[in-house]
Structure 1
C-alpha cells in the first residue's frame, strides 16, 4: 500500500519571454504563493527540491537550491537541485514524492524555475542544442530538425491531414488565451498557423514552443489533502534518435506512462484531463498515442474532431501547454501538475472554467526528444 502524498498548495509566476527578476527571485515568488495557498509558513518545510536545467548558462548561478533556502529564511532543511534537461521540474517532483514516502520529509517544497532570457541567444541555442546525442550534435541535428523529420514521417505514414498539426497549436492557444499565467494570451487560426514562417518542414513557427522565463511551485504533504499524488514514474529511452527501432515510437513515454498508471491503479479511461509535453505540435500527437489514449496514427484525427478540446472526451493542455503557456525548461513539469491541481480542485484562475467532473489528471514531462520522460498521476481525494 502506497504512502499518501497530497498537494497542500500551488503557486507560480506568469511565464514570459523575459522577466526582470532573477531565477532565485522568481523561484521565491512562486514558493511564497504556494506556501500561501497551503496556509503554511516556510518553517513547516522539511525539504526543498528545485528543478532547473541550466542556471549556470542561463543565469550565471550555481547552488540555486541553497540561494532559494536563504531567500526563504530556511535553515536545517534538506535541499537539492534536480537536473533532467526539459523534464527537470517533474524530476524534482518525483524526488520530493520519494522523500515523503520514504519518511525523510513530511512537508516538501518543489520549485521549477528557468530564466532563459538572461543568456545571449547564441549561448541559449548552444545549451539547448547539446540535448541531442553527441554524434547527432556533430552532424548539426537539432530538436526542431528531429521534430520536422518526425512530423513529415507521421503525416506520410498515416496519410494524416497537415491541418492536424495546426489544430494542436490553435487549441492550445485558445486554452491559454484566458490563462493569466500564460506567455501567449491570444487565439490563432489554422490558416495563421500554417502560414507562419517555416522552421523545419512541415513544422512552422506556430508548431514550436517559445523560450522564456518563469517559476512554478508545489507544497507536498504526507497529510491528507484535496488532491493526492497517486503516482510519479520515469523512464529513459534510446538516446540517439537515429538508433530507435521506430522513429514514431518514444519508448520513454510509453514506459513512464505504463508505470505511473499501474502504480496509481488507473487506466486511460479513468483519466479526465491531461497535460502533455507539446514542445512541438507533433509531440502532442505522438505522446497521446504512446500513452495509449489513441491507437497509432489516430491522434491526428481525434484532434481534428475536437476530442482533445476542453469539451471533448479527453481535454488536453487546458492551460495552453508548452506551446502557449510557455516552456521555461525547469518550470514546465511543475506547472503542468499545478494546472491539473487547479482543474481537480475546481478553482482554475482566470476567466475559464474547470473541466467538468474531473477526478483524475495525468501530466507528462519529457527530456530532450524523448531521451527521458516523467509521468505524474493526480487524483481528487
Structure 2
C-alpha cells in the first residue's frame, strides 16, 4: 500500500534559524528561544496563537518540557521526538501531518542541539542492551562506517582510488566555498583543494575536512493548512512530500549489500517523488540540501536521489554539476560539512535554506541561479545511522501549488 502523502495540503509560513557553531555563551534554551522568536516574528503570530508544538532533539532534552519550560508555554501540547539525525525533520513531519489531519490549525516544529558542552568530539549515543547480534551502530565510529563507501564505490565503478580522493576533496571544497558565504555557518572560510587533500586521515580515505562539524544550533518552522497560508505570508512554501523510511538494519549481514547505496534513501526518494509528482528530479529540482555527514556520503546520495545515473556521480561532481552556479546546486548553504550538524536542528536548517533560496531572500553572493529557468522546487534529505542500517527522510517543497 503506497503512502498518499499531503501534497499541497500544508504550507510553511515562517522559519527561523540561529547561527551554528561553538556557542559556549548560549544554552540550548537560549538557542531555541532565538529560533522560535525569529519564526513567530516573521509570521506576526504569538506563541499563544500556535495550537501545538513538536520539539526535535537528540540528546539536549527530555519530554515536551524541554520546550514548554523555556518558552513559558501554558496549556499547550508539546511533543518531543527523536530519530537520530532525522530528528529535526521528524518534528516537521509530525507537525505537518497533524495540521493536514485537521487536528490543528497552526503548529510549530522546533529543532535544537547543544553538543559542544558535552566534551565529546562526536555524537553521544546511548548504550542499548542487546543480544549481541545487532549491527555496527555504537560499536564502531561513524567515520569508520562511512569510509567503507569509498573503496566499494571505486571498485564497483572502476574509479581509480586517487581519482576518488579528488572527487571527495572537491565535494569538501564546494561545501566550504558555499559556507564561506553564509553568515550563519560554523565554518566560514574557503579551504583550498591542497589543504583538504593533505589533511590528516580519520578513517580510510576520509580526512579531517571530509567530516562534518560538531556544533550547537536551533531552527524552527510554522505550518498551517495551505488555504490559510496567505494570512501569514505572501510567499509560503507548499509541502509537496514528506517521506520517512526506516530500514531493517540488515545490510551488514546481507551478502548482497555492497556499500555503494543506501536502500532506505532510494525508497524514501522514490516515495517522495511519487507523492510530489516528480518524474525527473535532476530536471525539476532547483536545489537540494543533503546529508553530507561525510563527503563520500554526498557522492553516493547523488545517485540514490536520482541526480545522476549509477556510476556517474563522480564525473558530475568534477564537472561542477552540483556547484552553487551549477544546473543542480547541492548544499548551497555549506551543508553539514560547513554549516555544522547540531543533530536536532539539521533537518529544519536544510528547509530554512530552501525557504531563503526559493523565496529569493538568500544573499546575492550565494544565490542559486536555477530559479531563473523557472524551477520552483527544493529538496532536503537526512539520514541517521550508517551504511546498511539507517533511517532516511526526504522532503520536497515548492513556491507554487500544483495546478
TM-score normalized by structure 1? 0.92
Q: Aligned to 1:331, which of 336, 345, 348?
A: 345
Cα deviation, residue 254, structure 1: 0.7
Query: Are 1:343 and 2:357 matched, yes or no?
Result: yes
Q: Distance in 2 between matches of 1:342 and 1:129?
A: 39
- Correspondence for 1:58: none
Summarize the Cα distance change of 1:307–1:116 in structure 2 as closer, same or farther, 3 Å threshold.
same
Q: Distance in 2 between matches of 1:349 and 1:54?
A: 33
Task: Return 5+ residue gaps in structure 1 as ranges.
Answer: 56-60
Query: Are 1:115 and 2:125 matched, yes or no?
Result: no
Which aligned pairs between 1:188-207 and structure 2 lie closer than 5 A? 188-207=191-210
- Correspondence for 2:3: none
- Correspondence for 1:224: 229
Measured against aligned partners, the alpha-carbon deviations of 1:233-290 in whole angstroms (never above 9, x if no partner) come to 1111242441343221211101111111111112312111000100001111111101
Contact 1:96 1:110 in 2 (8 A): yes
Contact 1:10 1:34 in 2 (8 A): yes
Summarize the Cα distance change of 1:348–1:253 in structure 2 as closer, same or farther, 3 Å threshold.
same
Cα deviation, residue 354, structure 1: 3.9
Query: Are 1:266 and 2:304 matched, yes or no?
Result: no
Measured against aligned partners, the alpha-carbon deviations of 1:324-370 in whole angstroms (never above 9, x if no partner) come to 00001111001001101111100014743244414100000111115
Task: Return 5+ residue gaps in structure 2 as ranges.
Answer: 1-5
Q: Distance in 1 between matches of 2:8 and 2:331?
A: 28
- Correspondence for 2:330: 316
Contact 1:346 1:354 in 2 (8 A): no
> Is 349-358 or 181-190 further displaced after alignment?
349-358
Measured against aligned partners, the alpha-carbon deviations of 1:294-347 in whole angstroms (never above 9, x if no partner) come to 111111110110000111111000000000000011110010011011111000
Q: Distance in 1 between matches of 2:300 and 2:146?
A: 11
Measured against aligned partners, the alpha-carbon deviations of 1:19-58 in whole angstroms (never above 9, x if no partner) come to 4222122111101111111121112101111111112xxx
Which aligned pairs between 1:112-191 and structure 2 lie closer than 5 A? 112-121=111-120, 127=125, 135-137=134-136, 140-160=139-159, 161=163, 162-191=165-194
TM-score normalized by structure 2? 0.87
Which aligned pairs between 1:1-381 and structure 2 lie closer than 5 A? 2=7, 4-55=9-60, 61-63=61-63, 65-121=64-120, 127=125, 135-137=134-136, 140-160=139-159, 161=163, 162-222=165-225, 223-225=228-230, 226=235, 227-244=237-254, 245-246=256-257, 247-267=259-279, 268=281, 269-349=283-363, 351-357=365-371, 358-369=375-386, 371-381=390-400
Cα deviation, residue 3, structure 1: 5.6
Contact 2:210 2:337 in 1 (8 A): yes
> Is 108-117 or 68-77 further displaced after alignment?
68-77
Q: Distance in 2 between matches of 1:165 and 1:297?
A: 15
